[in-house]
């Protein structure tokens, strides 16, 4: 049996009221037990990248396991015009949906079903906010952390944004998402304990200001933490006092104890220039093993520029721009109905829009990722109907769903189904991996992407195609509701 996660605080009324109204309407119309299917996906990719890192599934599981409205919640809702019968339904609410999800740490591309929710209409609609609120922000943070980690080229990136987040739970899951994406650790003590994330910390300027001299402050700190001594050297003057006093403190308090200093941190000024000067001084003074740590509103672009300019940095501490995903603070997630059961059959549904990018892919679906047998690199993703099987023992023809004359035959590949079942009839059937296991999985999945796909700017467009059956179904429904006849995609006909 899977290990159930520890219970979080009750989610109670953490719902968008339109979800409550829709659920109540389904109930009063006799549609509450009608089986429906929803897809969760995003469009388009944030910033200038091509993909996001899936994160937030653990919080979704906790939200659902804890979903229960209290007597006071129900009494409050009574005044909002909801029927007594519907309130009684909520009082005895028992989750019974199936949920399929991409595992956390997986790179996912625009339009792909990150999650599929199948179950009674009233339930599937009611949990929409519980899902989107958990996934949206965490995916952005995991993606931002991954970009920073890749920009750092093997150097450590530490998440230090707890003070910039809105509350305990947000800070907890921000640290977890950053770790999944590639950060080496966190400065948030609660997250380190809760998710077994490596914990980091160092001194602040206020410590130094408490003493008559910077040297006195450094020596006192070194005595307190002789085996884990990191000194902040920018309170007054990095080169003319900070690094000089740090070296003196190392010689007085650290070396005589048989230890070595862990590092110095710079939090202001021209970090690239200062790091080069400080590195030279540390090397000349016999401390080549002393790390240089930098902080100050860092992101992947600043990290990349610093290293291109020769910065001598061993560790980057990232806070506000990481946990806020400052350059793309909102992920355009959508939760769309794609099928409704009728007489035991799931009937595909579609949303049509004059904005072509908003036309949905109908039907209960999954998606497959093709990996090259020789290199292990990801070749393409194919969205397919739920029960379609892709045979990777024979060649497969990919085609662009918008420009169907663009075609490519692939062979010698392994096809992997990307959605896994998390809930079955409301029961948790998935063992949640640890944060460190997800982080390792994420790193492996990123390694499967070609360098061209990983570019920060103008990445190569990764193939996300539809199976022939799904494409035909989509075109037939567009034709049905628009009156425009469609032709087959086979043979290059549009």
Our measurement of the distance from residue 432's CA atom to the centroid of its chain's CA atoms, rounded to an integer in Å, reads 15
- CATH number of the domain where residue 283 is located: 3.20.20.70
State how far the Cα of 168 lies from the Cα of 299, in Å rounded to an integer.
Answer: 23
- Quote the number of domains for the chain: 1
Q: Which residue has the higher pLDDT, 356 or 327?
A: 356
Q: Does some domain include residue 159?
A: yes
b or e along 155-193 (b: 16 or more beta carbons within 10 Å of the residue's beta carbon)? bbbbbbbbebbeeeebbbbbbbbbbbbbbbbbbbeebbe
Is the pLDDT higher at 12 or at 268?
A: 268
Task: Establish if 270 belongs to a structural domain.
Answer: yes
Share of the chain above pLDDT 90, in %: 81
pLDDT digits (tens, 9 = 90+) for 331-345: 989 999 999 999 999
221 within a domain of the structure (yes/no):
yes
Q: Are residues 492 and 397 in contact, defined by beta-carbon separation less than 8 angstroms?
A: no
Angle at 59 between CA 68 and CA 124, to 5 degrees: 55
* pLDDT at 164 (0 to 100): 74
Containing 415, the helix (H) or strand (E) segment is strand 413-417
Cα 104 to Cα 163: distance, rounded to the nearest angstrom: 25
Average of per-residue pLDDT across 392-407: 93
Can you tell me the distance from the alpha carbon of 376 to that of 426, in angstroms, rounded to the nearest whole number?
Answer: 36
Other beta carbons less than 10 A from residue 115's beta carbon: 23
Of the candidates 188, 172, 89, the one whose C-alpha atom is nearest the C-alpha of residue 137 is: 172
Q: Rounded to a whole number, what is the distance in angstroms from the first to the last CA of the chain?
A: 49
Note the pLDDT of residue 489: 59
HSE (side-chain half, CA atoms, 13 Å) at 491? 3
Residue 41 to residues 109, 331, 332, Cα–Cα distance (Å): 9, 10, 8
In a domain, 459, yes or no: no
CA 90 – CA 358 distance, rounded (Å): 33
Q: Is the pLDDT assigned to residue 291 strictly greater than 50?
A: yes
Q: Which residues contact 429 (CB under 8 A, 6 or more apart)?
A: 2, 421, 422, 423
Q: Tell the burial category of 101 from Cβ atoms under 10 Å away from its Cβ (0-12, 13-18, 19+).
A: buried
Task: Answer whether 467's CB lies under 8 Å from 385's CB.
Answer: yes
Q: What are φ and ψ of residue 103, in 5° steps?
A: -60, 145
Examine residue 239 and state whether it is found in any structural domain, yes or no: yes
The answer as to whether 251 is a domain residue is yes
* For the chain, percent of residues with pLDDT exceeding 70: 95
For 401, residues 6+ apart whose C-beta sits below 8 A from its C-beta are 465, 466, 471, 474
- What domain range includes position 261? 141-323
User: How, if at all, do strands 98-101 and 420-424 pair?
Assistant: antiparallel
- What is residue 346's DSSP assignment? E
**pLDDT, mean of residues 182-196:** 96
Q: Is residue 280 part of a domain?
A: yes
Does 430 have pLDDT greater than 90? yes
> What pLDDT does residue 3 have?
58
Beta strands in 180-290 (DSSP E): 185-186, 230-232, 263-266
SS3 content of the chain, % helix, strand, coil (to 5): 40, 20, 40
Q: 3-state DSSP call for residue 126? A: helix
Q: Looking at 429-490, which runs of residues are DSSP E strands?
A: 464-466
d(CA 77, CA 84): 10
Tens-place pLDDT, residues 132-150: 999 999 999 999 999 999 9
**Cα 279 to Cα 257: distance, rounded to the nearest angstrom:** 23
Q: Is the Cα dihedral 121, 125, 126, 130 positive or negative?
A: positive
CA–CA distance, 401 with 472 (Å, rounded to integer): 10
Nearest to 377 by CA among 440, 449, 455, 461: 449
pLDDT over threshold 80, residue 259 = yes
Q: Please give the Cα distance from 278 to 290 (Å, whole number).
A: 10
Residue 354, pLDDT score: 84
Residues 6 or more apart whose CB falls under 8 angstroms from that of 215 comprise: 245, 248, 249
Strands 378-385, 365-372: pairing kind: antiparallel
pLDDT of residue 355: 84
Q: Compute φ and ψ for 233, nearest 5 degrees.
A: -110, 15
SS3 of 326, please?
Answer: coil
């Amino acid at each position: 049996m899977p290990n159930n996660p520890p219970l979080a605080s009750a989610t109670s009324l953490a719902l968008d009221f339109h979800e409550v109204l829709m659920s109540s309407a389904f109930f009063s119309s006799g549609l509450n037990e009608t089986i429906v299917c929803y897809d969760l996906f995003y469009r388009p990719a944030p910033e200038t990248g091509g993909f996001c890192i899936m994160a937030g599934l653990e919080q979704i599981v906790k939200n659902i396991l804890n979903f229960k409205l209290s007597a006071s919640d129900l009494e409050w809702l009574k005044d909002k015009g909801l029927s007594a019968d519907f309130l009684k339904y909520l009082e005895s609410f028992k989750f019974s949906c199936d949920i399929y999800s991409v595992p956390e740490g997986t790179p996912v591309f625009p339009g792909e079903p990150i999650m599929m929710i199948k179950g009674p209409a009233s339930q599937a609609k009611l949990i929409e906010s519980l899902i989107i609120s958990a996934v949206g922000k965490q995916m952005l943070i995991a993606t931002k952390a991954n970009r920073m980690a890749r920009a750092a080229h093997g150097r450590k990136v530490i998440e230090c944004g707890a003070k910039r987040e809105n509350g305990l739970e947000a800070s907890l899951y921000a640290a977890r998402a950053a770790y999944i994406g590639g950060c080496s650790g966190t400065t948030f003590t609660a997250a380190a304990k809760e998710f077994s994330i490596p914990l980091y910390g160092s001194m602040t300027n206020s410590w130094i200001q408490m003493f008559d001299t910077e040297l006195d402050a450094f020596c006192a700190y070194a005595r307190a933490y002789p085996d884990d001594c990191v000194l902040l050297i920018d309170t007054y003057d990095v080169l003319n006092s900070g690094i000089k006093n740090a070296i003196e403190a190392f010689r007085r308090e650290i070396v005589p104890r048989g230890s070595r200093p862990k590092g110095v941190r710079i939090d202001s000024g021209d970090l690239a220039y200062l790091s080069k000067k400080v590195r030279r001084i540390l090397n000349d003074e016999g401390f080549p093993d002393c790390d240089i740590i930098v902080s100050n509103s860092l992101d992947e672009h600043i990290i990349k520029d610093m290293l291109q300019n020769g910065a001598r940095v061993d560790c980057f501490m990232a806070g506000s721009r990481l946990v806020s995903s400052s350059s793309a603070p909102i992920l355009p997630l959508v939760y769309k109905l794609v099928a409704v059961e009728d007489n035991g059959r799931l009937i595909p549904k579609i949303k049509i829009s004059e904005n072509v990018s908003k036309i949905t892919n109908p039907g209960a679906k999954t998606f497959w990722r093709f990996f090259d047998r020789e290199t292990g690199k990801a070749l393409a993703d194919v969205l397919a109907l739920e029960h379609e099987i892709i045979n990777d023992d024979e060649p497969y023809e990919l085609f662009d769903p918008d420009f169907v004359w663009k075609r490519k035959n692939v062979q010698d590949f392994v096809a992997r189904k990307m959605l896994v079942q998390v809930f079955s009839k409301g029961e948790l059937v998935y063992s949640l991996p640890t944060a460190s296991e997800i982080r390792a999985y994420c790193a492996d999945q990123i390694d499967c992407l070609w360098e061209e796909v990983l570019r920060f700017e103008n990445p190569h467009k990764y193939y996300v195609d539809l199976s022939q059956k799904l494409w035909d179904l989509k075109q037939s429904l567009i034709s049905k509701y628009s009156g425009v006849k469609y032709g087959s995609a086979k043979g290059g006909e549009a």
